[in-house]
Structure 1
């Protein structure tokens, strides 16, 4: 069985990721991209599905860990009866290769380590051909399967039943470097990595990026770590921003709500950009805007709600039988069926973010405004079509109030681009449709009791309604918003945290339930702060930040009863809303208010 989700720390080189447990096992690694097949897949099964453990032989060793400040270099400190040692784990920031580095440093006394390597490629469907290729003085292990190959250096392993093991001892002041380098199997093995140079470059890269972060409000450390997570989930080659580093971690333990989040949702990426824009990171926005142009291309009527990291369109959902799932939560899925959905809010999210970038000083390129204008045309085409909504329901499409508001926001940003920023477009038609949508939402999206509803024709509420003031549709203290919050507090709060919606209502068309979705509670912090409930906002924020694991990471959901993380991790949505909530507590609330 894998470790609890909250026991995993993230390693990233802004191309792919690895997850390391508190016990020193790399249980998830998909080189060379976030969405590639796994080499280590124990996260979704057990050790036989691939992992790389490294820890003291002393079973009573105590462990503490943290990142080197403002980096993703993980330092795990082991204290044993005979001595103390540290392991520095990281993915090296290099130009053209993918390297896992595990540097063991003796601190005091002596510590005997044991390491076990289990390579099982292609989501544990393929055992590689493994052979020794090094020398006695410079041992190296080569493993090849299909298109993939890795070379592990630093110690001579002994083979036994598809596992390779070794032991070694470090004393005070001594260092042992273990490395794993991935390369395409048709290429020659890469030369050994210069670990000293890699550590220096990797540390400098992350700390250089983080040095630009300005946040003078509450929870500064959590904000910085969250912004670093957002950068860690952004591919530095393509600009694509993945929603999470993992697939199929369960929203419902033992259930089937297991989805692949290693892709670029336009919504999640746009919301990530807003968090980055608010902290002056325009280069990432420029990079993503170019990604968007390449991904959408062609006919805007064919725009998808999500793409691959380089803009791929074919993300068909499949189920794997080679991985049994996290603690038996099946099926394990790769790809995501939501790619074929119509979600009416998505273009609004993109246009709100790009307007924020424009206001922040990012100039429009020759193609960027024509692209946005074409996206507004897609809103017009889908004006009277029900959708699957922000939560990607797999039940019957509805006219979701949040989606209709975000369509209003798309038209509103188009109108403002023309009237306030000198862009060109059919402002008269956009204005007419914008006002038509507002009247429709005011009539059909508001319950007789005065609160906004999840979708037309229902009594239910939905946490996504908390974003209405953020985009300027209404004020945070609008009586309808206050009544909506009251309804949420009465029907969606579980153990003090906010659910997305009532799964029991059947709207999502899925079996089973889920746990509180952390982004929703962060939205509630923002709403409380913007409507004058500062004490409640502060208390809820303190609790939410306290749910992060020991290295500051948040997954998608939180199981209050089990006091554990749930869903894919680390989750961009959770971290970007943490940043927004902290900004709101510092007096910067609302995506519309930020314009001024």
Structure 2
């Protein structure tokens, strides 16, 4: 089966998995999202796809129909065989409130139900260990199978005949069966009744969460699916938010731009909480603020990295996994990310921008305090110190540094928003300090990032370069959309970086040559600025184009081919889903239009 990003994520903010169009688990890491993939077929290469998956198959399949249960990340896969017999597989990770806290085990449940006729099915469970290097040993008990390899031990508890699974035997499906995969722990309860109860309570949890969202009239289904998936990218135990659930999906064929995105980038997380805040999902913000407070305390006023592990790990050494060929055989497969060593000064702005709402938002269980403000001032001090210093930029260039306009703009935003927070707290002297500093950085940006000969802003100081991130000058409120300098910048960015309906990040060669795909979040940035510039009908057309490029799950990856034919890059990509939510909110007709 040819590999594709047409995948359905399931999860519970601890466990996550990707399921392909055949209903197979093809990607899932243990014991957490940045761990060892027990299901690694996504990176197994087309020639080695016979391991690293978990399948429930018909003897001969005629058709497959897949869809999420409404307003949940619970997946239904309905399989019809050549005789017309039908069975259904319900896949989910349990999540609901129990004993005063949220129950979210590192576990998955598959419920297999006969629907009509007499289906004959085969269950194939072929996990991997140590990134494909470890031999997996299977042992069986009376109602479970254990899979042991490397440092991983998984237990599959089931009411199906264990020998059928162990031998991958074809058998008649005459009544529903349940499989519960997780740590090596027994289940001392009626498995079928427990699974059905967990399904009911997990369904109720997600539908109740969706009801808390404040969404606009149009594109509701797309926004809800994006919001649910952003929540699945949270590692709730610590508050971290990962950039994507995968590693090493290339940005285009043969590019070697294969990165591990299963970590918490402060930049990406800022955009996630910003988008979910616009939907009223305060729970994600509040949990992420706890993650940030821990980082701020550890930094003690010093350097803060652009990314951390979901357990706040600072060291994320980048290595290779030679036993996995990679997506469609296009390695390398990377584990870890060298960007943790980078200087990326925009992170100080993103920390402040993520945090400042807590000084104003009365909904929060833990509003920001005076002590929080003083701790945040240390982040602002770094932003002010570094606003005109070179860094690797938000695209994390590995072979060059510059004073990037985007990074300097985010340092300005840090000082500007600290001034707002100080005013809210009644700290007039501190407000004056931060407002003066914001004004000083603004002067620097306007003098050094604006190119008077070209009549527009440039991507770096005293430069001429074009970068789609210049469109963010409007979103951060540094420039108004009707500012003539911004209009000229938009025109130049469109001319230089737009390819039909899609936007490149940049076109100048980098460490890996010339980029060959468009970057989805940049297209959404263009849509936002077009709307704010009065080109709303064009913006709506581009937005509908992007909606049409989503997978069957309603999601997007990081990149897209310039002809729009295929998605590339890690999946599901939080950046892209953030863009979808923000544009839908901005472009939708109001509810009053139908009342």
TM-score of the alignment, normalized to the shorter chain, above 0.5: yes
**Alpha carbons 1:390, 1:403 under 8 Å: kept:** yes
Instruction: Give the structure 1 partner of residue 135 of structure 2.
Output: 127
SS in 2 for 1:288: helix
Partner of 1:511: 513
CA distance in structure 2 between the partners assigned to 1:34 and 1:3 by the alignment: 21
SS of residue matched to 1:29: strand
**Cα deviation digits, residues 456-493 of structure 1 (max 9, x gap):** 23322111111111111111121122111211221111
The aligned residue for residue 313 of structure 2 is 312
Equivalent residue, structure 2, for 1:443: 447
Residue in 2 aligned with 1:71?
A: 72
Q: Encode CA deviations 1:15-36: one digit per residue, 9 max, x unaligned.
A: 1211110012111111231111
Q: What 5-or-longer segments of structure 1 have no aligned partner?
A: 589-596
Match in the other structure for 1:464: 469
Q: Give the C-alpha shift of residue 426 in structure 1.
A: 4.2
Name the count of aligned residue pairs: 571
Question: Secondary structure at 1:409's aligned position in 2?
Answer: helix
TM-score, reference length from structure 1: 0.91
The 3 A distance-change label for structure 1 pair 14 and 391 is same
The alignment partner of 1:435 has SS state of helix
C-alpha change, 1:332 and 1:77, in structure 2 (3 Å) is same
Secondary structure of 2:30's partner? coil
- Distance between the aligned counterparts of 1:105 and 1:237, measured in 2? 33
Q: Which residue of structure 2 lines up, in the alignment, with residue 396 of structure 1?
A: 400
Q: Deviations over 1:257-310 (max 9, x none)?
A: 011111111111111111121122223212211111113323231311111112
Instruction: Give TM-score scaled by structure 2 length.
Output: 0.91
2:234 counterpart SS class: coil
Query: Equivalent residue for 1:478?
Result: 483
Q: Deviation at 1:49?
A: 4.4
Are residues 1:143 and 2:144 paired? no
Match 2:460 to one of 455, 459, 462: 455
Aligned position for 1:594: none
Question: Aligned residue for 2:126?
Answer: 118
Does structure 1 conserve the Cα–Cα contact (< 8 Å) formed by 2:519 and 2:560? yes
- After TM superposition, list the pairs within 5 Å mapping 1:250-261 onto structure 2: 250-261=250-261
Residues in 1 aligned to 2:88 and 2:404: alpha-carbon distance in whole angstroms: 52
Paired residues for 1:396-435 under 5 Å: 396-423=400-427, 426-435=430-439
Match of 1:240 in 2: 240
Instruction: State whether residues 24 and 54 of structure 1, in contact with CA within 8 Å, keep that contact through their aligned partners in structure 2.
Output: yes
Question: Aligned partners of 1:555 and 1:425: how far apart in 2?
Answer: 46
Distance 1:556 1:575 in 2: 9
Matched, 1:18 2:22: no
Q: CA deviation at 1:189?
A: 4.4
Partner of 1:93: 95
Question: How much does 1:334 deviate?
Answer: 0.9
1:563 to 2:560 alignment? no
Cα offset for 1:210? Answer: 1.0
Give the corresponding residue for 1:287: 287
Quickly say closer, same or farther: Cα 1:365–1:239, change in 2 above 3 A. same
Does structure 1 residue 52 correspond to structure 2 residue 57? no
In the TM superposition, 1:364-379 aligns within 5 A as: 364-365=368-369, 367-379=371-383
- Asked if the contact 2:320/2:332 (under 8 Å) is kept, the reply is yes
Q: Note the alpha carbon deviations across 1:301-353, whole angstroms, 9 max, x for none.
A: 13111111121111111111121111122211111111111112112122123
> Structure 2 unaligned runs (5+)?
97-102, 591-595
CA change 1:9–1:435 in 2 (3 A) is same
Moved more, 225-234 or 73-82: 73-82
Say which SS state the counterpart of residue 98 (structure 1) adopts.
coil
**Cα displacement (A) at 1:93:** 2.2
Q: Aligned equivalents of 1:199 and 1:159: distance in 2?
A: 25
Q: In 2, Cα distance between the equivalents of 1:250 and 1:425?
A: 50
Residue in 2 that maps onto 1:165: 168
Contact 1:401 1:453 in 2 (8 A): yes
1:355 aligns with 2:330: no
Q: Is the 8 A contact 2:252 2:561 kept in 1?
A: no
Distance 1:73 1:360, change over 3 A: same
CA contact (8 A) 1:52 1:118 kept: yes
**1:504-550 per-position Cα deviation (integer Å, ceiling 9, x unaligned):** x23x3223534111111111111111111110111011111111111
Q: Distance in 2 between matches of 1:478 and 1:86?
A: 56
What is the CA–CA distance in structure 2 between the aligned matches of 1:16 and 1:253, rounded to whole Å? 29
Q: Displacement, 1:153?
A: 3.1
After the TM superposition, which of the residue ranges 426-435 and 330-339 deviates more from structure 2?
426-435
Query: For 1:106, which of 114, 128, 143 is the aligned residue?
Result: 114
Task: Map 1:518-529; keep pairs closer than 5 Å.
Answer: 518-529=520-531
Match of 2:593 in 1: none
Instruction: Supply the distance in 1 between the matched residues of 2:388 and 2:484 (Cα, whole angstroms).
Output: 28
Q: Retained in 2: the 8 A contact 1:273–1:353?
A: yes
Partner residue in 2 for 1:39: 38
Give the deviation of 1:420 after TM superposition: 4.0
C-alpha distance 429-395 of structure 1, shift in aligned 2 (>3 A): farther
Q: Structure 1 residue runs of 4+, over 6 Å off?
A: none
